[in-house]
Structure formats: C-alpha cells, structure tokens
A and B are shown apart, each in its own frame.
Chain A
C-alpha cells in the first residue's frame, strides 16, 4: 500500500484502501459497474459525450486536453474499427498515482474504458501497463477475468447488444512509451518511437485506426461523473480546472505519499497540511510535474497547482508529481540527474533530442566537475530552446523547463561550480 496522506476528499481514490482490490464483489458493493449499467441502459452515446464534456474533465496524463472533446473527435471519426487505450505507462519520475489506482481499484478503470468504448463506438480496448508494475499487471489481470465472468466484458454487456473486450499489453522499460503515439508503436510490436502529429490518434492511432487514449486517472474519473453527474464533479476544483487531482509527493518532506485534493491547492498547503512539513532542513525548491516539470522556488509556494494557473506562468502541472528539495540540495547536481534521465530515455528518433540530450548532459557534467565555461550555460539554454522548437515529441520539447527554471533560481549556484566550488558540497570538484 502506498501511504495515502489524510485526504478527506475522495473521487478517484474513493475505494482505495477500503475494498479488497481482488474482489469484484466488494467493488460491486460500492456501486461498482452501476455506471456502466446506467450508460448502457439509459444513455445514448451522444448523451455520454455531452455529460463528460459538461464535466470539464481534463486529461490527467499531463497534457490536460479536455477529455470530452477528445472523445467526441474519436466518436466522429469515420474509419473502423476504433480502439480505446488506457495509458498506464506511468514513467514520469516522482509519479506513482496510476499505480495506486491500478493496484487499489482496477475495476474502476475497466468501467471507465467500457464507458469510453460505448461513447466513441469502440469494441476493443488495450491497457498498456509499464513492465515494472508487476502487481498492477497481476491485479488487473484478475480484475479482467472477474469482469468477464460477470459479463461486464465480452458480448452483449448488460443485454444491451454492446460488445467490449480488453487486453493487457505490457511495457518493457521505456519512459517515452508513455507518449501516446510511441505507446501505439510499442503496442504494435515496434520500437517505441513517437509518430509525428497530425494525424492525431482520434483520426489515426493504433494500426492507423481511430483511437482514444486516456490516462488511468482520467478514466478513473469517468464512473463517478456518470453516476453523480457533471454538476457534482464541478463542485470540486476551480472553474477552469474542475475536479480533484491526485498529487504524488516525494523528497525531503516528513511524509511522502499520495494526496487527492481539489484542483488549485497550493504547494504550501500540500507540504504543510498533508506532508507534515519539511524533514530536517529548510525548503529550497520543488519540481512540479515530474522531471519534465519546472522548478518552483519559495516565491511560488502559494500558486494554485492546477493546469490553468500554472499554464499562465508558462509552467506545467504535468502528472502532478511534486519533488520537494531542501537546502542541502545542489541545483546543478539535480539538473545533471534530470538530464541524465532524458538522455537515457530519449528514443533517438529525432536529431535535436537524440544528440541534444547527450550534449546537454556533457555540458552539465563538465560544469559540475569545474571544467565548464560561462558560455556553456548559455549554450545549454539555447540548445534546449532549439530542442523545444524543433523536437518531434514532447520529450525533447520539454527539457527547456527544468533547465530554464533551474537557472532562474540557481544561476549563481551553477556559476560557482565554474569557479571551482559547489556551494552545497554535493559535487566533487
């Protein structure tokens, strides 16, 4: 069990830790599969679409695209067959919310997928789970088996004439495979290289067919919205970003773990109210949104953590991961660590990212060893900017954020290294 930090509010994590995830009966006892029943018996696909649209739900995988709109695009696509994919690749460092849902409440995802399938006219669903999540895979397998036995999956679900199947595909260690088109390539048995877009998955996705791809947390919101209505859903969060968010907090805090809170909660609230404050030393900075996210300094402690508020500042909420760092942390050492991650996880397809990630790391490493030049810092920024403008997928495009925000708060600290001194003593010069 992942520690869940006193969350009074539960939409996505409703059943988490409260039911036996391997028992469909317990899930059913919590109104499980009622949403599917409701949809299949009482609603036309268009009604489902408009309910999801009305809820204002945004994709929880990082890009925050309006879910209802994505569903509608897929529903309108002319080609057949269509596919539903649940993106359970969760590779963003610091993120472990999808794992919690997969391990703790797998049926909720199945339910979300069936409803999505009905709404867009798909009869086949895949869930792509990262290879490292063995427990998730096992639990999901069991859940699928039970759902089939209870005839929630298969032919003629709820006697409605609607058919739906789900199959698990397993990843094998690749962060970029969480990118939706890379995921599809991987699912097709190829190297996990992202495709260029457009065409977007709703018109041409898996095997070139219309495909709806949603994050685990996104899909976990579907059944509650269907059962309780979009108005209810909108009572949480902000106007622009309704609903709750599952934040994953780690680093130098007293309690690391998961928090479900309304969108718009601030960093300060999360650290103090949920994570019980800092461990031993003072707050220095936090990285929000995973390794591709921005560094926030003390001045940002009271910014609401939702897509819109951060977006206005050119920042991202991403997956909702929060890595809190105290004063013992060397900003350059962390940047090197982030760059190492990108270098290792770049798929290598496009030149700016394939070579850029390597050169950025080389430059950062040189600086951290005291072998850098002042110009190198600007070259790093410049290179990352070109990568942002020219890279094929969001991996190469997003490096700029951690680099630019690190420099925003810690340029002096980085420069100190060039002069031969690591202020925190972390780097060996």
Chain B
C-alpha cells in the first residue's frame, strides 16, 4: 500500500505517500498556522508560519513543503515554534495598514485570526507608515496594497486557475510589491475579472468592490446553490444580508468547479435585485400593460387557452419551456402542455444550440449528452476542441484547458475559424472555413485509417457499419480536404497523428459544430472519429458537447422536447405513451410536436394561435428576428412568464412574474449530466411566484389539478417515470449531486458513459459526406457572418445586461472584422457600420481584430441594440431542426 504511518503531536495518523505534513494535518483536523499555503494552488513555502519540528531532524521545517515519511514524529507547536511564529506575524504587522475597523475582511481575515491566536498585543519593531493609494480601476476588484502581505496566493491563482498571469511581484526584498500587467491599473491589463484572486486573498488586500460597506462576514447568511448562467454548473455560496445577495464565493467542494468561478458567476448576481424585476402579473389592454391580480391573470390565461383549444384544436397551441428553469419546472411544463394543451408542441432553446448533438449522439451511441465528466479532462493526453470558444462561453472549463496545457502536459488541438484564446495554448490549431467541418473530420479519419492509427480491436468488437463508413472517408484525402476547408495538408496530418496516437483523446465541441444545416452530420462525424480511435467508454476520452444554459441538459432530459417524454422516451412508441398515460391518468397525443422554429413558422402562417413561453426570449435568441416578430404578433394569445419584461414579453398579452434562481428550490443538471440541488436563498421579490407554482395554478384552472407540495415531490415522480433519473431523490443530492444515468436508489451515478457497451448496444458508424452551408457569401452579400458570445454576457443578456458590473465591463455589441477587410472598406476601430442580410439590417460598431479571417465577420447576439439575429439565416438542419447561426451572408457599409 502507498500509505505512511506517522504521528502528529503524538496522534497516530495515516496518510497517502507523497502528501505533505500540511495536507495530512489539515485532513486530520490539526491546525498549523499558514498564510501562503492554499489547497489547489502550487506550493510557495514562503510565509514560514507553518514551521514544525520533526523528531530526529535539526531545526524546523515548513509543513507545507515537507513530505511525510513512515514513522515520522511531527510536533506542530511548542514554545520555540510559537515564538518564531509570533515574531513572523509581528514582522508582517509592522508593515501592514491597521484599519480593521473599516476593513472589508474584518472577521474573515487570516492575518487577524493569527494575530489573535498567537496573542500578539504589541509589535516590537518600528512600524512603517507610508500609505499607498488604493487601486480601484476594475469594475469588480479593489486592490489595497497596504494590506498585501505578499503571500502570492493571488499571483498563483491568476496564473494557475485562470491562467491569465496578470498578477506578479515586482522589485525585490523589502521593496517587493504586487503588480498587475506592467504595473498598470487592472482595467488596462488582461484581467478577466474572474475574482479568483479575491477568493484566495487572506487579508483585505483584494476585495469585492461592489460589496464594499455592504456587510461583514458575520452578518451574512450563507446559502449554497448553483450558478444560474452556463452549463458548467458551478457550485456557489451566496452571502446574504437582509435578503440581499452581497457577494458570491465558489464552493471548493463543487465537483466541477472546485471553487473556481468566472466573472458572471461571481459578480453577475445583482440582476436578482434589479429594479426592472417583474413583481406583479401584467395584462395588456389596448396595447398597454396594466398590473393585474394573480387570480385575474391566471383565470384569463386558462380561459383564453381553453377557448383557443376548443376553437382550433390542441395543435393550435404550443409552449416554449426554459433551460433557465429547474428540472422540476421543465417536467411540469411539458406535462402541462401535453395534458392541458393536449399537444406535443413543446420545445425550448436547446433546439437552437444542441438539438443536433442530441440527434447525432443518440444515433451513434444511444445517448445525447457529454459522455465524460469535466474533471476527467485531466486524464486525457489530447483534447480536441472544435467549435467552442471555451474560455468565453464555459470559462471555468476553458481555464481548466489552459491550466492543463500549461501545467499538465495535456496537448490541445483547436479547430476553429476564429483565432480564439485557446489557439494560443494549442499545440496545433487548424483554421477551417466555416461550415466545412464534415470535410476536415473525414480528412483526419482518412489519415488515421491510412496510417493504421485506428483502434482495430475497438472497431471490431464494439461498433458496426465500419466498412460503409470507411468507403466514404477514403474519398477525403488531405489534398481534397485542403481544397474544401483551407486547412494545409501537413497540419491536418499532424493533428490526425496527434489524436490518433494518443492513448486517451477527448473531443469537446459546442455551437460551432452544432449550429449548421449539417449540424447532425458534424456531430455524427465527431462520434465516428472517437469510435475509430477507441476513445469512448474510458476516463478522459469521449465526445463532449458543452451545453450552454445552466439547465439545458435538464430541460432536454425532462422532455421539454416535441418528440420525447422525460428520459428521451419516444412519444411515438405506444408502450411508452401508455406508461405515461397510466401514471398521469389522461390520454396523450401520439403525434410528435413542432420544434421552436417550426412553431414560429406555424404562428406566422396562422396555424398556431396560442403560445405559452416560460423564461425564453426568442425575440433575440432565434434566427431571422423580423420573421419571429411577425410570428409572435400574429398569435391570438401570447403568455410570457419571466423575471424581466424581455423583448418577447413586450409582445405578450399576459405577463406572469416568475422568480430567479435565488428564490427557488429544485435541481439543475449540468453539462456533464450532474444533477445538483438549488437552495432557496431569498423570498420571491414582490408578488412574483416560483415558476412551478404558476404552472400548477394554470393547470388547475384548465381542469387538471396538480398537487405537489415541493420540488422534491416532483422529483420523486420524475424518478418513477424516467429510468435515467430513476434513483434521483433530493435526499441524495447534497454535495456532489448525481450524474445520470442513475437508475436506482443504490446506484452511485455514472461519471462516464458507454463503459463496456454503448447505450444502443454497438456504436454505429455513419458515413457522412460534406455538404456546403445553405447560404454562402456572394457578390451582393460578400461577407460570411458568424455569431457567438462574449465572456461578460449570457444568451440574450436578459440577466447579464441587468448586472451592473457585467454591463459595465461590456456595455455594447460590436462587429469583429479583419484588418484587411477593414482597410478595404476604409473603416476604423469603433466606426459605425450598417450590416445587412437577406433578412434584415442593423447598425453596429466595428472592432478590427486578427481573430477573424478575411472575408469573415463575427457578432454576438446579446445586445438588443444590435441584434445579430436580425441577420441570421433560419435555414434548418433537416434532422435536428437547428438553424444555421454560424453561417450567413451579409454585406457591410460604412455610415
């Protein structure tokens, strides 16, 4: 065994070989004073407070740097050690600003605690008095150099967690000081405002700017919950005073974030208390909203929907569920639509991001989700990232990739048309032309097969249809692929060898792969690639779609989709349907419903008359917005349930105020299938109500009473109907949550899928040929427009744009254009241009950057003022019905 027996202060303890005295002591509840050590960061050994004595060795040794050995006898405290520590703390204090009375860290300051514990009443040394100004240029971080003790934790956090390397020390000796960039104000540096430095700072040197004078640590109520932004599902701790969230910390035990957060998760919570929050139901009279009572609004909603159903039939109604809402709410929503509306016309924004993933991976493997877990990336030798600007869209994972490339020897292959940040950490970057993914993936496989790098045993034993597939791939020689994709032959071959030879290769993708008319084909191709190399069913391998919204995985899992019930059980299968009919006690419609874009289309054609939208904003998120507006305006009756009066809510007849993540209980399922508990932190704002309660009220009024007392009860019902959630109950979800499939109460959950067998039995190879995008640049519209996100905003910005720090850092949208094209069009940075496509036009500011290739422009879709989706094409993938956001043709004019 690799264990070591030792004693600490006479107590016998066991430890893993290679661990340090500090780690062992902490694990055994033995306190050793320290300032520079922090779990999760590299070891500095610089504060020298953790000095201990080891029997048989002269002098003292630092506990944080000394490895334990068999039979070691450690003494962590005696008179000599304590006196040494006392003197060291006195030294620190002799140059520290003592304004504990107004210090933000009072009560959670490690230096203060030490001084207290060591009983330091007076400082024997002359005290330095020079005072440096506080640095407050950042929107979120306040830096007080007078309280910096140079422990270096922030420097290491910045370099090792976020890998931004913005902080470091300058000068030396007693003159040493903390700098950002070239000793610049933080705003002028590469700081991404993740706040990792604040979380680790032991004193008040780095603090939350916006939390200043808002409360002290002992005044806060602390509630652990889940970040409401992206699909990483970071666990956060809300610090609340007087029912107001003041600050947020990352939870160190969070299995997927390990205490790390991005700027949105840490600082983007103030929207919860924004003055624009909807606090009462609204009913539109003569084009104007008027405040209404809940009863009035709910009765109206139920009556109108009943009327429309009676008049036009069930299929004239539809519902859009929400990837922002909990699993329980999604479950209730689809149940409500299927029962009370009597239709399967229920869908949600997953259609717009990962419908092709679900379609493709279900077909190839049998399950449409991330095959592996986030922490497993550490085990991969090679990570192939394509169509994912991970550091901006899933920052905690993106930073993890940077960390692995920088410190773990993991090789990154990035395939992306834009020069995203990850390309700087990549061993190989392939820059393909947008929309040519099938071609380069086939090209990689062509090389891998030709060079015999594929896993013959895996292919033979675990897959089918290899020969058909091989025939198609054989056409994609590197030369041919270069012509289609623009990727130089030798680079393609190098990447093929790197992935092909890796023992463990992991594939990561997001919307750059899925949002194409060939989205499903792209995903199938990636699945082919992984199977070809035997990279499925082991730790650190797999095909890993990064899901966008905090609970988009859950919304899919729980059947907010037109073709499946919870757990991806087919609506079209009679046996399945009967099961749900029995439990729910109603007849269910057998016909598959319409998807998001189809619902909008049907609305504009007058086929859909009534629509219930919960927490979605198609008026910014969907392609071809003019067409969306037309559709929504054509409805007889539109109900929008949200926390803000979004662009979509403005068009509604009735608006119902739901609540934010902080005001409810339930679960979210993150991108790696982890179901985690959300805890209610504050009561609903105003008269707003939990979304699950609103659904129950409408359902009751439409003749189908639901009687759940809590989300936990709803989950119990889910478990009984959904095999992959079969063992999921609230009482099991503390701490680490559970990863589905979790079929029974005893099952521990599943970190990675398809271990010895694919969900569908054998993995299916699908031959896929390259098809060009639906709309390519031409003479009239000469630029290829791609869309995406930025770090500081989320989705349609309904939350992030109402966060002061986030909107403060990134207040407006822009069009990225290459220097060559800018020169040709004679435009400069920050000039305004008009961008138009066949579907619409808008005005936007220009940002000239090497990030985009010539002929390509890029926009985000967060900003209503310059809504990129006015331009995008609503051409759909024929299988998954996902629109081609990533490729549309536009023209650009100077104004």
Q: Are A363 and B174 in contact (CB under 8 A)?
A: no
State whether the Cβ of B172 lies closer than 8 Å to any Cβ in chain A. yes
Q: Is A63 an interface residue (CB 8 A)?
A: no
Tell me, rounded to whole Å, the shortest Cβ–Cβ distance linking B18 to chain A: 12
Q: Which of B43, B48, B94, B126 contacts A350 (CB 8 A)?
A: B48
Task: Kindly identify which residue among B47, B60, B124, B126 contacts A351, using a CB–CB cutoff of 8 Å.
Answer: B47
**A21 touches B (CB below 8 Å):** no
Determine if B173 and A382 form an interchain contact, defined as CB atoms under 8 angstroms apart. no
In the complex, are the beta carbons of B91 and A351 less than 8 A apart? yes
Known interface pairs A355-B92, A389-B84; A379-B124 also in contact (CB < 8 Å): yes
Contact A386 B173 (CB under 8 A): no
B169/A191 in contact, CB under 8 A: yes
Chain B nearest CB, measured from A349 CB (Å): 5
Per the 8 Å Cβ criterion, residues 78-121 of B in contact with A are 80, 83-84, 87-88, 91-92, 94-95
Instruction: Assess whether B150 is in contact with A196, with CB atoms less than 8 Å apart.
Output: no
**Cβ-based interface call for A390 (8 A):** yes
Do B91 and A355 touch (CB < 8 A)?
yes
Q: Does A362 contact B (CB under 8 A)?
A: yes
Q: How far is the CA of A348 from the CA of B151 in the complex (A)?
A: 11
CB <8 Å contact, A357 and B174: yes
Give the segment of A245-253, A339-347, A406-414 that binds chain B. Answer: A339-347
Instruction: Give A362's nearest chain B residue, CB to CB.
Output: B126
Q: Cα distance A198–B174 when bound, in Å?
A: 26
**CA of A379 to CA of B125, assembled, Å:** 9
Q: Interface residues of A: mostly helix, strand, loop or mixed?
A: helix
Contacts of A351 in B (CB 8 A): 46-49, 88, 91-92, 149-150
Task: Point out the residue from B83, B88, B176 that lies within 8 Å of A348, measured CB to CB.
Answer: B176
B350 neighbours in A (Cβ, 8 Å) = none
Q: Would B48 and A343 count as touching, CB distance under 8 A?
A: no
Specify which chain B residues have a CB less than 8 angstroms from the CB of A350 in the assembled complex: 45-48
Residue pair A348, B84 in contact (C-beta under 8 Å): no
Name A355's contact: one of B44, B83, B174 (CB within 8 Å): B174
Interface residues of A in 338-381 (CB under 8 A from B): 343-352, 354-359, 362-363, 366, 379
**Max chain B Cβ within 10 angstroms of own Cβ: one of A343, A382, A386:** A386
Q: How far is the CA of A356 from the CA of B171 in the complex (A)?
A: 17
A215 CB–B CB distance under 8 Å: no
Q: Write out the residue numbers on chain A whose beta carbons fall within 8 Å of the beta carbon of B172.
A: 174, 191-192, 346-348
What is the distance, in angstroms, from A171's C-beta to the closest C-beta of chain B?
A: 14
Q: Which residues of B contact A196 (CB under 8 A)?
A: 43, 45, 62, 65
Residues in A neighbouring B734, C-beta threshold 8 A: none
Asked if A163 is at the interface (CB within 8 A of a chain B CB), the reply is no
Q: State whether B174 touches A386 (Cβ < 8 A).
A: no
The total of Cβ contacts below 8 Å across the A-B interface reads 92
The contact of B175 among A348, A349, A386, by CB within 8 Å, is: A348
Please, how many angstroms separate the alpha-carbon atoms of A363 and B175 in the complex?
Answer: 18
- When chains A and B are docked, how far (Å) is the Cα of A192 from the Cα of B172? 9
User: B51: shortest Cβ distance to chain A, in Å?
Assistant: 5
CB-based contact B174/A343 at 8 Å: yes
- Name the distance in Å between A347's Cβ and chain B's nearest Cβ: 6
Q: How far is the CA of A391 from the CA of B815 in the complex (A)?
A: 54
| Residues of chain A with a CB closer than 8 A to B124's CB | 379
CB–CB A386/B169 < 8 A: no
A335 CB to nearest chain B CB (Å): 17
Contact of A287 with B by CB under 8 A: no
Question: A198, A354, A356, A382 — which one has the most chain B CB atoms within 10 A of its CB?
Answer: A354
Is B48 a contact partner of A392 (Cβ separation < 8 A)?
A: yes
Closest to B128 in A: A358
Report the minimal beta-carbon distance from A397 to chain B, rounded to whole angstroms. Answer: 9
Interface flag for B133 (CB, 8 Å): no
Q: Number of contact residues on B: which range applies? A: 20 to 34
**Contact among A346, A358, A391 for B48, CB-based, below 8 A:** A391
- Say yes or no: A363 contacts B126, CB within 8 Å: yes
- Report B-chain residues with C-beta under 8 Å of the C-beta of A391: 48
- A383 CB-CB contact with B under 8 Å: yes
Q: State whether the Cβ of B59 lies closer than 8 Å to any Cβ in chain A.
A: yes
Per-position binary interface string of chain B over residues 48-71, scored 1 when its CB falls under 8 Å from any chain A CB and 0 otherwise: 110100000001101001010000
A366 and B126 CA atoms in complex are apart in Å by 10
Expressed in whole angstroms, the Cα–Cα distance for A379 and B393 within the complex equals 56
Q: How far is the CB of A348 from chain B (nearest CB, A)?
A: 4
Q: Give the distance in Å from the alpha carbon of A390 to the alpha carbon of B84 in the complex.
A: 8
A355, B95: Cβ atoms under 8 Å?
Answer: yes
Cross-chain contact of A390 among B60, B94, B150 (Cβ < 8 A): B60
Chain B residue numbers with a CB within 8 Å of A358 are 95, 173-174
Chain B residues with Cβ under 8 A from A174's Cβ? 172
Tell me whether A389 and B51 are in contact (CB under 8 A).
yes
A389 contacts B60, CB within 8 Å? yes
Q: Point out the residues of chain A lying under 8 angstroms from B48, CB to CB.
A: 350-352, 390-392
Contacts A389-B60, A390-B51, A392-B46 given; does A347 touch B173 at CB 8 Å: yes
User: B46: which A residues are within 8 A, CB to CB?
Assistant: 349-351, 392
Alpha-carbon separation in the docked complex, A352 to B48 (Å): 7
B171 touches A348 (CB 8 A): yes
Kindly identify which residue among A192, A366, A386 contacts B87, using a CB–CB cutoff of 8 Å.
A386
Neighbouring B residues of A356 by C-beta, 8 Å:
91
Min CB gap B463→A, angstroms: 40
Establish whether residues A348 and B169, one from each chain, have CB atoms under 8 Å apart when the complex forms: yes
In angstroms, Cα B67 to Cα A250, docked, is 44
Q: Once the chains bind, are B62 and A359 in contact (CB under 8 Å)?
A: no
CB-based nearest B residue for A366: B126
| Cβ of A380 to closest chain B Cβ, rounded Å | 10
Q: Given the complex of chains A and B, what is the CA–CA distance between A349 and B60 in angstroms?
A: 18
Q: Specify which chain A residues have a CB less than 8 angstroms from the CB of B62 in the assembled complex.
A: 196, 392
Q: Bound complex: CA of A356 vs CA of B62, how far in Å?
A: 18
B209 to chain A, nearest CB (A): 28
Q: How long is the Cα–Cα vector from A382 to B150 in the complex, in angstroms?
A: 24
Given the known inter-chain contacts A350-B48, A391-B48, please indicate yes or no for A386 contacting B176, CB distance below 8 A. no
Residue of A nearest to B171 (CB): A348
Q: Which residues of B contact A366 (CB under 8 A)?
A: 126
The complex places the Cα of A347 from the Cα of B175 at a distance, in Å, of 9
* B88 CB to nearest A CB, Å: 5
Which of A198, A345, A351, A358 gathers the greatest number of chain B CB atoms within 10 Å? A351
- State whether B173 touches A348 (Cβ < 8 A): yes
The A-contacting residues of B in range 5-53, CB under 8 angstroms, are 43-49, 51
The interface residues of chain B lying within 8 Å CB-to-CB of A382 are 87
Q: A383 vs B91: C-alpha distance in the bound complex, in angstroms?
A: 10
Residues of A within 8 A of B150 (CB): 348, 351, 354
Alpha-carbon distance between A350 and B48 when the two chains are bound, in angstroms: 7
Chain A residue nearest to B80 (CB atoms) is A389
Residues in chain B near residue A349, CB distance under 8 A: 44, 46
Question: Closest approach, in angstroms, between the C-beta of A196 and any C-beta of chain B?
Answer: 4
CA distance A191 to B62 in the complex (A): 22
Chain A proximity mask over B176-200: 1 for CB below 8 Å, otherwise 0 = 1000000000000000000000000
By beta carbon, the residue of chain A nearest B67 is A198
A356 to B126 CA separation, bound complex (whole angstroms): 11
Cα A277 to Cα B238 in complex, Å, equals 76
A190 to chain B, nearest CB (A): 10
Interface string of B641-665 (1 = CB under 8 A from A): 0000000000000000000000000
| Complex CA distance for A344 and B549, rounded to whole angstroms | 54
Extra inter-chain contacts (18) besides given A198-B67, A391-B48, CB under 8 Å: A174-B172, A191-B172, A344-B173, A345-B173, A346-B172, A347-B173, A348-B150, A350-B46, A351-B48, A351-B150, A352-B87, A357-B174, A358-B95, A358-B174, A362-B126, A386-B83, A390-B84, A390-B88
A-B contact pairs, 27 of them (CB 8 A): A191-B169, A196-B45, A343-B173, A346-B172, A346-B173, A347-B173, A348-B173, A348-B174, A348-B176, A350-B45, A350-B46, A351-B47, A351-B48, A351-B91, A352-B87, A352-B88, A355-B92, A355-B95, A358-B173, A362-B126, A379-B125, A383-B87, A386-B84, A386-B87, A390-B48, A390-B51, A390-B60
Q: Enumerate the 5 nearest inter-chain pairs by beta-carbon distance, A residue then B residue, closest first.
A: A348-B176, A358-B174, A196-B45, A355-B91, A346-B173
Residues of chain A at the chain B interface (Cβ within 8 Å)? 174, 191-192, 196, 198, 343-352, 354-359, 362-363, 366, 379, 382-383, 386, 389-392
